[in-house]
Amino acid sequence: MAVGTSGVHEFGTCCVDLQDAMSGEEFEPLLTVGEDGVLYMSVGLIDLDEEDDDAGMVDHPMFFCPFCGTKLQTVEDVRAKTGDVDEDDED
């Protein structure tokens, strides 16, 4: 099924805690929605170069809300959105 809601996501509607964590007006949110529409959480930093102030963020798709436990997206959703489909599901 095609999804015609590019740029629109419904993450953060499950609870105020997640909404606040994503909106982050006073801090840099570690929960972000990528350009592919997948909700990612930052799990760490990588020092790419000591001369470079930019540390690389390590993101991982977030499947469940860490606050209320609502299922936000499935592995299949993420694979479909990122195009990372390298195996066929056998029904």
| Contact set with Zn ion (CB under 5 A) | 14-15, 18, 65, 67-68, 70
Structure tokens at 47: 């020092």
Q: How far is the CB of 41 from Zn ion (least distance, A)?
A: 13
Taking a C-beta distance cutoff of 8 angstroms, is the pair 78, 61 a contact?
yes
* DSSP labels, 37-75: S-EEEEEEEE---TT---PEEEEEE--B-TTT--B---H
Q: How far is the CB of 15 from Zn ion (least distance, A)?
A: 3
Nearer to Zn ion, 15 or 57 (CB): 15
Q: How far is the CB of 23 from Zn ion (least distance, A)?
A: 13
Question: Judging by beta carbons within 10 Å of its beta carbon (0-12, 13-18, 19+), is residue 48 exposed, middle or buried?
Answer: exposed
Nearer to Zn ion, 39 or 78 (CB): 39
Nearer to Zn ion, 13 or 82 (CB): 13
